Chain A
């Protein structure tokens, strides 16, 4: 049998593609190209664009506060990605091992993911507010002086925690699917052989789940760089004294507080490059260690 003819002709196929292509071009490719172009200009509200060549890039190269923002973002992403993976894996394993009520545990874990980031950030604000927070009392009771409105490192930790918390649900959905895909007989063999639970997780499940984990590391990295804006904006606004001024927030401020569209575009190009380079490294590394089943 010949391949199934879905379309009457090329014209029909092309017509069906038009909406997707149109949306992609108007809202994705054109702005990208435009941002790349703008990165070589001095631009702002109410004045003509002025071509400055690589000046914007030179500015960023010599700007030490921008350097620290890059470093901060990389550290932030590393902590968020590692935190999300480890916590999600642990939670997934607990749900996998529990005998009853699996669905309820799953729902309660996934729930934060169903919140818009802004709402999630507000929830976290109520939970950890330095004076009014629900958990503030218990935390201060163990001797930690919660003061993240003024304490930079504390603020950084709070934003990291919030970002991790929000992303756990998404990861658990994928991880529980991958973990349930591990053949039961492997679990049973391990049980009969006396392999402990932790060892079973680390030596049996995780290697088999590597393709999924690899995918999640990529998604989480993108999330950490691009999807955490709302947490910074609502919880700390980049402060105190730039302690949480990660790249995505920094470029937002550059564009919409200082209206330096040229520099902001340059920053977004740099952010794009940073993430792209990280992706390549991750692909290289994980490809090597991923197990793709027979």
Chain B
């Protein structure tokens, strides 16, 4: 049971800044997922936590201990790697016990008991006498997890542990990781580039880009209230549509449409205050001149062919269908309106043909505005606060 605190953590490799001033608290018993594109510094952050890299600057604390310069072995953390990192010449059992045997801090009976317990938990009892090459990817990762949990560490550090598994197994292991965490309650930091994994696993998710934290929130809050364009486009698949607009009199104006902005929520410093569309206009770039004053963000799944959702109101606009992509459970429609293009989710068997015209409507509670220059979000039309995370304690500081 451990709280991990990072203060102004920084890591440079020669002239590359991998991690640029991270401030983050991983709460006791929390499952925290760090997500971001390749090279965003997420793995480096995890390696700093493990002690495999030395911080250039800043501080890492585990509870009251400053571990910034502590050797990996003295941090009492366990790491699970993408490629499993099982010793190939050892059986499953030896792999699990090797680290414990090496430190002499466990009695043999204690080790046996813990291995049996972990094997039971992970259902790997029949793998204990096999070598890794006789195991499947999923089995190897289970053994690797077993090795991590037998030591009863203060924290689990997981570096893309599911990336090498096939899609079906990944989904299965995802559920198992959630179950395992519920059972053990050990503080876990989990790094992935897969936003679906981040959303499904994390009690809170840290989105990183370019060595910096972009946002830390429970998954639904990330999705509903992204703090900037990067988060908005990174979380959610397909990515959020971004269309340059002007904001005039509480209306997002584009050549092809006018979308009124209902009263919503600002994230710009005045957290928790609500503003209407007109006030949003004031927050838009006042010096924009002829340039668009804002970027309107709408997720493809919040756009509909008007005939499918008559309940959403009168405001519709016409767009041209460019391409359709059947996804089975839905039809992804690439559309253009004026100089803008966007994607829209439609009913799977909709009769939308490329070249045709479609009347488009949208969910007015799912609009976002971003500043064109900085990409910061300054307006969300959602009228309800983000639902609390899976565990209340993690969202109420």
**Known interface pairs A188-B50, A188-B52, A189-B81; A195-B89 also in contact (CB < 8 Å):** no
Residues B72 and A207 in contact, CB atoms below 8 Å apart? no
Complex-state Cα separation, A205 to B98, whole angstroms: 14
Interface hits, B333-350 → A, CB 8 Å: none
The answer, among A189, A196, A294, for a CB contact under 8 Å with B132, is A294
Nearest CB in chain B to that of A195: its residue? B102
Complex-state Cα separation, A199 to B90, whole angstroms: 14
Residues B102 and A192 in contact, CB atoms below 8 Å apart? no
Residues B88 and A189 in contact, CB atoms below 8 Å apart? no
* B residues in contact with A185, CB < 8 Å: 81-85
Residues A193 and B102 in contact, CB atoms below 8 Å apart? yes
Residues A189 and B99 in contact, CB atoms below 8 Å apart? yes
* B residues in contact with A195, CB < 8 Å: 98-99, 102-103
B84 to chain A, nearest CB (A): 8
Complex-state Cα separation, A191 to B52, whole angstroms: 8
Interface hits, A167-217 → B, CB 8 Å: 183, 185-186, 188-196, 199, 203-204, 207-208
Residues B103 and A194 in contact, CB atoms below 8 Å apart? yes
* A residues in contact with B79, CB < 8 Å: 188-189, 192
Interface membership of B295, Cβ < 8 A:
no
A97 to chain B, nearest CB (A): 15
The answer, among B50, B88, B99, for a CB contact under 8 Å with A194, is B99
| Number of chain A residues whose Cβ lies closer than 8 Å to a Cβ of chain B | 20
Residues A192 and B50 in contact, CB atoms below 8 Å apart? yes
Complex-state Cα separation, A291 to B90, whole angstroms: 10
* A residues in contact with B85, CB < 8 Å: 183, 185-186, 188-189
Complex-state Cα separation, A183 to B88, whole angstroms: 10
The answer, among A191, A194, A207, for a CB contact under 8 Å with B89, is A207
The answer, among B71, B75, B88, B151, for a CB contact under 8 Å with A294, is B88
Interface hits, A64-97 → B, CB 8 Å: none
Nearest CB in chain B to that of A206: its residue? B89
Which of B73, B82, B89: most chain A Cβ within 10 A? B89
Interface membership of B133, Cβ < 8 A:
yes
Complex-state Cα separation, A188 to B89, whole angstroms: 17
Which of A186, A189, A208, A293: most chain B Cβ within 10 A? A189
Residues A194 and B52 in contact, CB atoms below 8 Å apart? no
* B residues in contact with A190, CB < 8 Å: 99, 102
A287 to chain B, nearest CB (A): 15
* A residues in contact with B151, CB < 8 Å: 193
The answer, among B52, B88, B99, for a CB contact under 8 Å with A208, is B88
* B residues in contact with A193, CB < 8 Å: 73, 78, 98-100, 102-103, 151
**Known interface pairs A192-B79, A194-B103; A294-B133 also in contact (CB < 8 Å):** yes
Complex-state Cα separation, A188 to B72, whole angstroms: 9
Complex-state Cα separation, A196 to B73, whole angstroms: 10
* B residues in contact with A196, CB < 8 Å: 102
Residues A186 and B87 in contact, CB atoms below 8 Å apart? yes
Interface hits, B39-85 → A, CB 8 Å: 50-52, 71-75, 77-79, 81-85
B362 to chain A, nearest CB (A): 47
Residues A199 and B102 in contact, CB atoms below 8 Å apart? yes
Nearest CB in chain B to that of A189: its residue? B85
A211 to chain B, nearest CB (A): 11
Residues A192 and B98 in contact, CB atoms below 8 Å apart? no
| B147-187 to A contact mask, C-beta < 8 Å, 1/0 | 10001000000000000000000000000000000000000
Complex-state Cα separation, A242 to B236, whole angstroms: 83
Nearest CB in chain A to that of B81: its residue? A185
Residues B102 and A291 in contact, CB atoms below 8 Å apart? no
Complex-state Cα separation, A37 to B78, whole angstroms: 67
Complex-state Cα separation, A192 to B76, whole angstroms: 8
Nearest CB in chain A to that of B132: its residue? A294
Residues A191 and B87 in contact, CB atoms below 8 Å apart? no
Complex-state Cα separation, A199 to B51, whole angstroms: 20
Residues A203 and B50 in contact, CB atoms below 8 Å apart? no
| B96-112 to A contact mask, C-beta < 8 Å, 1/0 | 00111011000000000
**Known interface pairs A207-B89, A208-B89, A293-B133; A194-B102 also in contact (CB < 8 Å):** yes
B127 to chain A, nearest CB (A): 14
Complex-state Cα separation, A204 to B94, whole angstroms: 12
Complex-state Cα separation, A191 to B98, whole angstroms: 12
Nearest CB in chain B to that of A186: its residue? B85
* A residues in contact with B51, CB < 8 Å: 191-192
Complex-state Cα separation, A291 to B86, whole angstroms: 14
**Known interface pairs A185-B81, A293-B133, A294-B132; A192-B87 also in contact (CB < 8 Å):** no
Contacts A191-B73, A293-B88 aside, 15 further interface pairs with beta carbons under 8 A come to: A183-B85, A185-B83, A185-B84, A185-B85, A189-B79, A192-B52, A192-B72, A192-B77, A192-B78, A193-B73, A193-B100, A194-B73, A195-B102, A204-B87, A291-B89
Interface positions of A (Cβ within 8 A of B): 183, 185-186, 188-196, 199, 203-204, 207-208, 291, 293-294
Pick the 9 closest A-B CB pairs, nearest first: A193-B99, A294-B133, A194-B73, A185-B85, A195-B102, A207-B89, A291-B89, A185-B81, A194-B103
Mind listing 12 A-B residue pairs with CB under 8 Å?
A: A185-B82, A188-B81, A190-B102, A191-B71, A192-B78, A193-B100, A194-B99, A195-B99, A199-B102, A204-B87, A294-B132, A294-B133
